[in-house]
Amino acid sequence: MNKKIINLAASAIVATALVGCGDKTSAEYVDSANKSLENKDYKTAIIELKNAIKQEPNEASARFLLGKVYLDLKQYSFAEKELERALDYGYAANEVIPLLSKVYQKNGTNKSLFKLTSKAKGLKPKDLAELKFYQIQAYVKAGNDAKANAMIDELKGISGGGPYSKLAFVYDLILKSEFDGAIGQLNEILERYKNQQDALKIKANLQLRLQKPEAAAQTYEEYVAAYPDEPEVKYVLAQLYSDLGQPNKAEVIVDDLLATYPKQPILLQIKSTALMQDKNYKDALDYAERSLTINPEDSSTRLVAGVSSYMTQDFEKSESHLTLVASLLKADHPALRMLADAQIRLGRSLDANETVKMFDNINEDDAGLLAGLGQALLKDGEINKAKDVLNKQPDELESAAARAGVATLKLSLNDVSGIVDLEQALAEMGQDNATETPVNKEQLEVTLVQAYISTSQYDKALEIAKKWKQSQESEVKGWMLEAKINAIQGDFDSSRSALESGLKVEPENSIIKFQLIELLPLKTDLQKQNMLAELDKLLVTSPTFLPAITKHYLLSRVLKQPQTMTAHLEKLIENNPNNSIFHVTLGRLQVAEQDFSGSVKSFENAKRLNNKPAPYWELLANSYIKTASFDKTKALYQEWYQAQPNDPKAIIGMIKLYDGSGEFKKAIELAQSYENQIGGNNLEIRGLHAYLLARTGQFKLAQAKVDKLPEQVKSLPLLKTTIGILQLAENDLGNAVLNLTDAYKANPSSMNANWMINAIARYQGIDAALSATKTHIEKFPKDELNTLRYAQLQTSRNENEAIEHYKKVIALNDLNFVAHNNLAYLYSEAKNYSQALKHAEKAKEMKPNDGRVLDTLGTIELKLGNAEAALKHLTAAIADKNTHNTDNVFVNYVEALYANKEFKLAERKISQYTFKSDKTSTQLEQLKAKYL
């Protein structure tokens, strides 16, 4: 048999079987649906009714029943479609229209709702009244009061309309704005028709309109109790509870709704608010962030997320959320305070300062926050801003804790009036043990002790030490403070006695043991050996005690003994490779040993473990310089400055980078910003500022800066250089030489040597300058700047010596175009044209448009007989702003014109040129004689 025929036959059998098994009539499907509905099996009922309609698409009863099921399930769009078709296919209008009017009302299909009037013949009075009522509602919502009033009159005239006829009178009063009367009417309706749906809804809405939210909530409670399956009303009631500050009531409803609508953002927001008010901040944050994932623009939810994350101490999240809503908050809102505090804790003092500017009426409650902000700004180097914060503090503060915070900020700003304020605040704290303070009382006492010591009020400091000794918890600290103060005053015996008393209390205290060792005499080598032995003993019991390690190293160097501490630290690092402090300490010792490759490795290891800027970064930068890793130096200072733009060390590094690269304007602007905007007083930055002003010829400004510096600062090498430059400008050459020589001896840098040699040349002559330069470059043969200077000084004196040193410059830096150009000139003068051309072309590669280079190259081409090439280069040279008015270059240019037989052009150029020297006329006459 043909295979294709077999397959077709099989398909036919299957199809017949399927038809035979499922062959129900439409009526049978409807019956099955009704049975399913009796068991509330809506899913099966819908399938059965769809099958019935599939069998007979025009079966009105199936359509009606399906529409009714959809209505019960609140699937209003599907219900509308099926009920309309049931009506179209002839189902009884008096049964369909009451349901269809509800559906149109739910869907807001007002046009269709209004058209139902023409099909409403034969409706029962109650059903007709309900239809008219829905139409009134639609007209009122559309703002068509005229038609609404006409419909109200019709509804009033329907006898037997039940509650809907009565509701016509309610809408009549509403349209007349007689809301209290409308509520009275509704109460009468509800008394007669208990829990009537529409009456309850209208009443609740009117109560909200009359700003009676508590009454509205009660009405909605009655509605939900009577009709528990209406999520829309539950949703409104939950929101109302939330607005009324009744989160627990809201939460019960929300939990029920979230089971069905887990991603509804408002429900999630209400839940988060309820949890936050219950102080369940962790879950409140979770629900708030779930809501924000769906609706990120909700500022109320964002506020809940910000406050909740703050309360769970997730300050990063809190700052992220609260920043987005800060501008929407009132000036006295607590969340603004939370935002500022979070920013302070995150080290974002400038952001916190901007937030505090949004505060209004700063009061005592803000004093602690402002004090913390001031300290944070100081830590970031923002001195002027910290002063501004101090000035914002209220004049009168009742809280001792608040006054203590302000006093501490004053002391940090070197305002000694803070001492008295802090004394008074601590005295009040002592009287009231219950006083709450955000600052640890002992820490406040430590701050006061530091202030006493800095102002030499040692008796007061000793009083605090005495007080500490009376407490078991702070006794040792008291003895140590007493020892410190006695040592400052030179009473070393009393200091030793106090430390020994402290050691009796804590026999294994390494700090006390070390301080006792430091009090040992150090006049003779034997005494130094004794101290070293004591340090050895301490390091046996406390091998990681870094002050002892550093002291041991220094003492070994003084005694000129082999130091063992680098090996000791390497062993510690082997056992504790992730301890960054060990790496830093080793790096410091390696710098002292001038093992800069080792120090780079150690500091880089520390930086890898903790990449936050730290004081040792300056040593790392210096180690990079010592190992000629200039790119790394630049990158480190840029990273440091970017992370801490107000840190004086970072600023100094950047100023030096700008100075070294010739970006003087940037360097000066940075120094000015530090002094004027930040309010900084770092003497090194002020000194650098004065130096840069002098170096760039701004002598009056530089002198004014120098005059304001303390006298002891003026003896520093940098200031000696600056003062020397200013004396050069004033032609005070003798003093300039003295100061610049002193600066050079203290710091024989390339630039200091340059300034000194310049002064010597002007004061003592070129021979003395040559001698000084030669002495310097023999000590520092890698000094490119001064080797070049020496070669230039020798160019017209000793050409062989000049050539030798230009070669040295090129060996140091093959990209030094000045050396190549000058060497080309000297080779040309020596008639070594191949070498001259080689170096001239190299200079032109680097500076293709420089008139000096083009003049040298053109002159060499002339000597080689390449007239056309010579004219090309010299034409460009005479056009360059650096050389276009130079007689020598002009003479060379005219010779190139003559060599190319451009006689008329040469004569015209000569007639247009103004000679700077009489010799130029003679040179030109000689050229005429040669070429004409």
Residue range 237-283, pLDDT digits in tens: 888 888 888 888 888 888 888 888 888 888 888 888 888 888 899 99
Distance set, CA 544 to CA 332, 568, 573 (Å): 51, 9, 10
Quick: pLDDT tens for 436-446.
Answer: 444 567 788 88
| Among 301, 360, 308, residue whose Cα is nearest residue 333 | 360
Q: What is the pLDDT of residue 7?
A: 40
How many Cβ atoms are within 10 Å of 920's Cβ, its own excluded?
18
Does the structure show a pLDDT above 60 at 694?
yes
Q: What is the pLDDT of residue 23?
A: 65
Does the structure show a pLDDT above 60 at 404?
yes
> Can you tell me the distance from the alpha carbon of 152 to that of 133, in angstroms, rounded to the nearest whole number?
8
Does the structure show a pLDDT above 60 at 658?
yes
Whether the CA torsion 103, 104, 107, 108 is positive or negative: it is: negative
Q: What is the mean pLDDT of residues 585-596?
A: 94
What's the whole-model pTM score? 0.59
Q: What is the pLDDT of residue 810?
A: 95
Sequence-distant (≥ 6) Cβ neighbours of residue 101 within 8 angstroms: 113, 116, 130, 131, 134
R_g of the chain computed on alpha carbons: 47
* Helix, coil or strand: residue 44: helix
Is-contact 155 164, C-beta < 8 A? yes
> Can you tell me the distance from the alpha carbon of 552 to that of 533, in angstroms, rounded to the nearest whole number?
9
Quick: pLDDT tens for 367-401.
Answer: 778 877 777 777 767 778 778 878 888 777 777 77
Does the structure show a pLDDT above 80 at 640?
yes
Is-contact 167 201, C-beta < 8 A? no
Q: What is the mean pLDDT of residues 774-783?
A: 93
Distance set, CA 235 to CA 106, 231, 268, 289 (Å): 16, 6, 11, 20
Is-contact 103 76, C-beta < 8 A? yes
Maximum Cα interatomic distance, the chain, rounded to a whole number of Å: 136
> Can you tell me the distance from the alpha carbon of 427 to that of 400, in angstroms, rounded to the nearest whole number?
9
- Interior CA angle at 433 toward 428 and 436, to 5°? 85
* Helix, coil or strand: residue 335: helix
Looking at the chain, the whole-number percentage of residues with pLDDT higher than 70 is 96
Judge residue 171's burial from the number of C-beta atoms within 10 Å of its C-beta, 0-12 exposed, 13-18 middle, 19 or more buried: buried
Is-contact 763 748, C-beta < 8 A? no
Sequence-distant (≥ 6) Cβ neighbours of residue 412 within 8 angstroms: 374, 375, 378, 386
More confident: 752 or 428: 752
Q: What is the mean pLDDT of residues 164-169?
A: 84
Residue type present at position 183 = I
| Among 730, 740, 732, residue whose Cα is nearest residue 699 | 730
Is-contact 676 688, C-beta < 8 A? no
Residue type present at position 919 = K
- Interior CA angle at 440 toward 434 and 443, to 5°? 135
Q: Say which range, 613-617, 695-699, 866-870, has the weakest mean pLDDT.
A: 613-617
DSSP labels, 460-479: HHHHHHHHHHTSTTTHHHHH
- Interior CA angle at 913 toward 909 and 919, to 5°? 110
Sequence-distant (≥ 6) Cβ neighbours of residue 803 within 8 angstroms: 791, 823, 826, 827
Is-contact 446 407, C-beta < 8 A? no
Q: What is the pLDDT of residue 439?
A: 54
Q: How many CA atoms lie within 13 A of 379 on its CB side?
A: 15
Q: Supply the DSSP symbol for 678.
A: I
* pLDDT, mean over the chain: 87
Quick: pLDDT tens for 666-681.
Answer: 999 999 988 887 777 7
More confident: 595 or 232: 595
> Can you tell me the distance from the alpha carbon of 298 to that of 303, in angstroms, rounded to the nearest whole number?
9
Phi, psi for 472 (deg, rounded to 5): -60, -35
- Interior CA angle at 94 toward 93 and 95, to 5°? 90
* Helix, coil or strand: residue 522: coil
Does the structure show a pLDDT above 90 at 692?
yes
- Interior CA angle at 289 toward 285 and 295, to 5°? 145
Question: At which residue do the structure tokens 């710091």 appear?
Answer: 747
Q: Say which range, 267-281, 736-750, 833-847, 862-876, has the weakest mean pLDDT.
A: 267-281
Q: What end-to-end distance do the CA atoms of the chain give, in Å?
A: 120
* Helix, coil or strand: residue 614: coil
Is-contact 925 907, C-beta < 8 A? no
| Among 577, 589, 585, residue whose Cα is nearest residue 545 | 585
Is-contact 145 174, C-beta < 8 A? no
Does the structure show a pLDDT above 80 at 566?
yes
> Can you tell me the distance from the alpha carbon of 862 to that of 97, in angstroms, rounded to the nearest whole number?
112
Q: What is the pLDDT of residue 357?
A: 86
> Can you tell me the distance from the alpha carbon of 633 to that of 650, in angstroms, rounded to the nearest whole number?
12
Buried b (16+ CB within 10 A) or exposed e, 434-473: eeebebebeebbebbbebbbeeebeebbbebbeebbeeee
Q: What is the pLDDT of residue 19?
A: 37
Distance set, CA 386 to CA 363, 381, 392, 399, 678 (Å): 18, 9, 10, 21, 9
Sequence-distant (≥ 6) Cβ neighbours of residue 883 within 8 angstroms: 851, 852, 854, 855, 877, 889
> Can you tell me the distance from the alpha carbon of 873 to that of 852, in angstroms, rounded to the nearest whole number?
10
> Can you tell me the distance from the alpha carbon of 554 to that of 563, in angstroms, rounded to the nearest whole number?
9
Is-contact 510 545, C-beta < 8 A? yes
Quick: pLDDT tens for 918-929.
Answer: 888 888 888 888
Q: What is the pLDDT of residue 387?
A: 81
Phi, psi for 72 (deg, rounded to 5): -60, -35
Quick: pLDDT tens for 471-520.
Answer: 888 899 999 999 999 999 999 999 999 999 999 999 999 999 999 999 99
> Can you tell me the distance from the alpha carbon of 378 to that of 387, in angstroms, rounded to the nearest whole number?
9
Q: What is the mean pLDDT of residues 825-834?
A: 94
Q: What is the mean pLDDT of residues 27-52?
A: 88
> Can you tell me the distance from the alpha carbon of 450 to that of 796, in angstroms, rounded to the nearest whole number?
65
Q: Say which range, 415-419, 593-597, 709-713, has the weakest mean pLDDT.
A: 415-419
* Helix, coil or strand: residue 792: helix
Tokens of 171: 């809408």
Does the structure show a pLDDT above 60 at 874?
yes
How would residue 846 be classed by pLDDT, with cut points 50, 70 and 90?
A: very high
Does the structure show a pLDDT above 60 at 12?
no
Quick: pLDDT tens for 526-556.
Answer: 999 999 999 999 999 999 999 999 999 999 9
Q: Supply the DSSP symbol for 283.
A: H
Sequence-distant (≥ 6) Cβ neighbours of residue 21 within 8 angstroms: none
Sequence-distant (≥ 6) Cβ neighbours of residue 454 within 8 angstroms: none
Is-contact 565 547, C-beta < 8 A? no
> Can you tell me the distance from the alpha carbon of 717 to that of 720, in angstroms, rounded to the nearest whole number?
5
Sequence-distant (≥ 6) Cβ neighbours of residue 756 within 8 angstroms: 724, 737, 740, 741, 743, 744, 772
Looking at the chain, the whole-number percentage of residues with pLDDT higher than 90 is 46
